[in-house]
Structure 1
Amino acid sequence: MASTSGSKRKLPEDNLPGKEYNIPQVEKFVTSEKNAKKDKSRIFYLRNFNNWVKSVLIRMHILQRDYTVLDMCCGKGGDLLKWKEGNISYLVGADIAATSIEQCDTRYNSDRMRGRHRQPLFNAEFHTADCTRVRLRDVYKNPYMRFNIASCQFSLQYCFESAAQAKMMLLNLCENLRPGGFLIGTTIDSNELVCRFRSSTEGDHMCGSSIYSAIPSFNIDDIPLFGAKYNFHLEGVVDVPEYLIHFLLLVRMLEEHNMELVLKQDFHEFFHTRQQFVEDVDLLYRMQALDRQTGEISQEEWDVIGLYLVFAFRKRLQ
């Protein structure tokens, strides 16, 4: 098992939620966890931890009700509930996979019907589009709409195959963003990944463990700005080529869209920073991002978590 210091990733006892729950609630929760462990994959906590990071990041940047949001590379709609909890008023979702958009739309309409007599769901539109090749504002119902937030979660690393694709992706993310609006996201920490490549004793510079592997297809001593391809495999989730993102290059490219960097932390740093916020610690356990009884996560999962970072850019007012 792993913790936040040394060989264990564990929260201080003072941060473990518990006093606010009654005993039957606690026992019911613990019992359900024990039964669920039989079916847990080796990346159960990793997936939940990543979802917790997204939840906190989104909540940090929703500053008031009725936001309009662009969810780029929205997939099957995994963040729909997060936007609902943020009380947004309108969502535009886009993804390259038509099947994912169909499932996202079905999920949205199902949630909308369930919420008709309770909390109303936001309005939305969903589009199948390659966001690295198509100008999205041309497919919006209202090409002049303005977003308070543009979100791109765990997807930006697929967009740096070429300069043209990266430029189109960033144009789509920033073009309709309001002054003062935020671009938020999660992506691979390329510096950390390259360090692992260079520390590898394998002939092909492969790094990894029993739950993930990454193999570079480029010269690690002469890394190109674009098209630095590596093959990434994560057990049961990802097995596709990705591309390094030179973060300084990303900052420079976004400056052309009048964007300024306001947040950049790897997931480990982000985790430690958010420990001071009771609501984030509580959410960590409610989402089962750590073992509820021990406050721990496996070392292998923690190592993969360290491969990612969160970022936020804000559009300048002028």
Structure 2
Amino acid sequence: MPYPVESPAIKHDFLVLSEDELGDGSLFSSLERPIDPQKLSKRATVYSYPDGPKFPGPMCRSLTVIGFLETSNPMVEKLLHPSRGAMQQCTIAVKRFQPSLPDRDKANSTNFAKFVTKLRRTDVVAVLSKDKYGRFGLLRPMQDDEDEKFAAECFVGDTENAKGMVQGNDKASADAAAADETEMWQPPGSTDDNNNNDNLWQPPGGGGAADDSAGLWMPPSAGDQPDFGATSASDFTTNNNADKEQPAWNPSNNDADDDANTTHPDKKRSAEDMESSIFHKDTGAATADKFYSGLTRTLDTRSESRLYHMRSFNGWVKATQIQELNPQTQGGRKRKGVSGNPPMRVLDLACGKGGDLGKWTIHSRKMSRYVGLDVARGSLKDAAIRARGIRNKLDNNATFTVADLGADVPGRLKSHKRKHMQPLLSWSLQDESPHETGTPEFKPVRGGGVSLTEKFDVVSIQFAIHYMMSTRKRARRFFRTVSELLEIGGNLIATTIDARIVIERLMGLGEDLRFDSDSEEEDPDREIVVTAGGGACRIRFKPDIVKRIFQSMAAKKEDPLHEDIFGLEYTFTLKEGSDHASGVGEAVDLPEWLTPIPVLKSLAEEAGLEMEYGLNFHEFYLGRMDPQENPAAHRALYNMKVLNKEGSISSEEWEISRLYCAIKFRKVREAHSVLEDDSDEEEEDDDDAAEEESEDATDTKASQQFYIKAMMKAKMIVGKDQWDSLSGDDKKKLVNTQLKKLMA
């Protein structure tokens, strides 16, 4: 293949693992090994061309060299043989070196040329890591021109297909398979043949293409951290988009991370907030309600957290996800008087205290509608107070609703048997005076303030989708509800614990995972604990759950939504300090359920959604680390105070952040899933039967059954303490009011 003459199609970061990480293991085992971002160095910026793969998607934004194989290896010869068709051949290149090039381009071209020259001199091919589609790559110098060093041949193929072909039954396949049992080719020492200490497997030093990373935030390492010389967030507030008509993305630290569970500093918890009575039927939802409603952390103490910068980094991931959204929904364009990309309709699930409100209000497309749902009643009151403070930015259109996302259904009928939407406690900016300063009043509203025909452009669920995975029924209901509320072309975005990393860490603990049936009875108090960040993060499993995790891997092959894949419970703990009361104790200490990405993908496909990406937080950062390619995301690292005084975050915080992943779906069709029978979960306060029995909305002779329900609702609204202090007549009036609403 000659040097390409057509225009390039895609720009890529060309990354190389450090020398101590290269050549460890066979080809296919190395492709499965996680990549430590701290061991990566950017060698150059390269370009691919229209001959690159297009299905199921284009080549990855980052091309990462993880090892080398000798060209004479029988497996390499087989994989690259054109008659086999195992790999698609394409071209990557840099600009040819010319004296007229800018210094930056000269350095870029020179560094890639050195890499290609070294491949040719040592007669090896470079192995490129797997992408999100399961494809890997082999890179070799141009075969038609031995003098060509500014371009290379790239072969891309499906990993499983290649593995199957290599391990075939013919003799050549057997030889190739045997070759794969040997370790990958090891790079030479730290000097080249001319004793020049510029070996391509060493991280770049000063100058050359290494300058491409100057000014970037780099993951922490054992060495000295770079000094970026940033003096204030205002140094990084230029427009983040090529379209200068769009406002700059400049999130402040106040919006850094809703995981901070920030409360309004001037408000104290009422007796109702702290009431321990069960409001949600699901045990996990009730526990989360009690925990988060009772959390009293403030912005004043957040800076004392030992995980301050990790929380800011988590907030940066969320903010970047949000700012990259541009859903193309037909329903949005059909709204009266709307042309181009209209303001977005946002459904924010697990919205907590409204920490992401600011991120949504500064989106270039703005919002025409915002609905926030959460399981924690106390948190939603804080969210409502926060919304009051930015009423104008929200266009006076924000609603908050109490709901258990895996059981309650806002804006839709809960089942085909129902004739009315479920009443949910809701509060809306539109329903109160602009000058209101009292405690937000949540009232039962059918559909939770969402109409039966209303749809959204974006559904977001941050650090909470794992609560939907306790049972298959619960997970299916969640995805079905999201699908019904989401417009075709709209997006579902989420962040959660990365099950891939958790399982990897479990396997590295050295536990006997066979759990022989004839072994001694398991200690009921024994736990298997995955730790990170010097113990600041702990993920605790019961041994029987760990056994199920590895059993579920086999079950998943037969049925991607097998019941055994759900209910994989663990307890997740983040310890920020020793004083919970002051806001730096255990930030999270709740039961959660493992959320494997393939399971989420299958659930989504069943509900008419297609996964666009599922990236570990480290991968998410690496894809956006170039300030030229992603200036807004780069500036936000400073604006959101992600960086410490050394221009990084601590290695402990960086290690914890690897436990998370970011996910994005797009709705492509309506759901075809059939929900499992819900007849055993009919709520006691469901009033459909009452509406069938009576046409008189003021019937005071309703059955005792509905009178009791009305009394329960009245008691819930006023609160237990206030209810106990009321006179009999006052109680009767409140009950009759609720009874009329039930019968209406």
TM norm structure 2: 0.38
2:602 partner amino acid: R
The answer to whether 1:14 aligns with 2:215 is yes
SS at match of 1:215: strand
Separation (CA, whole Å) in 1 of partners of 2:345 and 2:632 = 24
Residues 179 and 317, structure 1, Cα contact 8 Å, conserved in 2 = yes
* Distance 1:256-1:290 versus aligned 2 partners, 3 A rule: same
Q: How does 1:50-199 map to 2 (within 5 A)?
A: 50-62=314-326, 64-86=341-363, 87-112=366-391, 115=392, 119=393, 121=395, 123-137=397-411, 138=421, 139=447, 140-199=449-508
How many residues get paired?
298
Specify the structure having the higher radius of gyration (Cα).
Answer: 2
Separation (CA, whole Å) in 2 of partners of 1:278 and 1:75 = 29
Residues 233 and 638, structure 2, Cα contact 8 Å, conserved in 1 = no
Q: What does residue 231 of structure 1 align with?
A: 571
SS at match of 1:288: coil
Separation (CA, whole Å) in 2 of partners of 1:18 and 1:65 = 38
Q: What does residue 652 of structure 2 align with?
A: 300
Q: What does residue 262 of structure 1 align with?
A: 612
Q: How does 1:262-281 map to 2 (within 5 A)?
A: 262-276=612-626, 277-281=630-634
RMSD: 2.9
More divergent stretch after superposition (159-168 vs 131-140): 131-140
* Distance 1:304-1:66 versus aligned 2 partners, 3 A rule: same
- Residue 142 of structure 1, CA deviation: 1.3
**What per-residue deviation string (whole Å, max 9, x for no partner) do you get for residues 79-106 of structure 1?**
1111111211101111111111111111
Of 309, 321, 330 in structure 2, the residue corresponding to residue 45 of structure 1 is: 309
Separation (CA, whole Å) in 1 of partners of 2:594 and 2:459 = 21
Separation (CA, whole Å) in 2 of partners of 1:271 and 1:25 = 22
Residues 233 and 639, structure 2, Cα contact 8 Å, conserved in 1 = no
Residues 367 and 394, structure 2, Cα contact 8 Å, conserved in 1 = no
1:153 partner amino acid: Q
Residues 372 and 400, structure 2, Cα contact 8 Å, conserved in 1 = yes
Separation (CA, whole Å) in 2 of partners of 1:104 and 1:82 = 14
Residues 214 and 231, structure 1, Cα contact 8 Å, conserved in 2 = yes
The answer to whether 1:205 aligns with 2:528 is yes
Residues 410 and 450, structure 2, Cα contact 8 Å, conserved in 1 = no
1:166 partner amino acid: A
The answer to whether 1:214 aligns with 2:521 is no
Separation (CA, whole Å) in 2 of partners of 1:22 and 1:244 = 41
- Residue 14 of structure 1, CA deviation: 3.1
- Residue 284 of structure 1, CA deviation: 0.8
Residues 161 and 229, structure 1, Cα contact 8 Å, conserved in 2 = yes
* Distance 1:157-1:23 versus aligned 2 partners, 3 A rule: closer
- Residue 246 of structure 1, CA deviation: 2.2
Q: What does residue 635 of structure 2 align with?
A: 282
- Residue 251 of structure 1, CA deviation: 0.9
Residues 387 and 394, structure 2, Cα contact 8 Å, conserved in 1 = no
- Residue 53 of structure 1, CA deviation: 0.4
- Residue 188 of structure 1, CA deviation: 0.9
Higher RCO (C-alpha 8 Å, min separation 6): 1
2:322 partner amino acid: I
Residues 597 and 614, structure 2, Cα contact 8 Å, conserved in 1 = no
Residues 198 and 205, structure 1, Cα contact 8 Å, conserved in 2 = no
* Distance 1:79-1:38 versus aligned 2 partners, 3 A rule: closer
SS at match of 1:5: helix
Structure 1 unaligned segments of length 5 or more: list them. Answer: 27-35
* Distance 1:182-1:122 versus aligned 2 partners, 3 A rule: farther
1:69 partner amino acid: V
2:529 partner amino acid: M
* Distance 1:24-1:104 versus aligned 2 partners, 3 A rule: closer
Separation (CA, whole Å) in 2 of partners of 1:145 and 1:222 = 42
1:241 partner amino acid: P
